[in-house]
Amino acid sequence: MNPDYLVQEAYAILLDLGSAFGLAATEGVMALLRERGVSIDTHVARVPLCLRR
């Protein structure tokens, strides 16, 4: 959520305390987005966009 890095939309916002559990939760959200085909095209790969704070 840095104004220097703006995007048009986010598919998920995940709030955690920065622990290993939060990282695992992020992996779960990314896997769910990937399964549902929700992602942006980077011309190299399709990448789900999840903001982790």
Residue 2 confidence (pLDDT)? 64
Listed in sequence order, the residues at least 6 apart from 11 whose beta carbon sits closer than 8 Å to its beta carbon are 33, 38, 39, 48, 49, 50
Residue 42 confidence (pLDDT)? 83
Q: Which helix (H) or strand (E) holds 42?
A: none
Would you write out the chain's pLDDT as a tens digit for each of its 53 residues?
567 767 777 778 888 777 878 788 888 888 888 888 888 888 888 877 766 66
Tell me the whole-structure pTM to 2 decimals: 0.61
Count the Cβ atoms, other than its own, within 10 Å of residue 10: 11
Alpha-carbon gap, residue 14 to 5, rounded angstroms: 17
Alpha-carbon gap, residue 19 to 49, rounded angstroms: 20
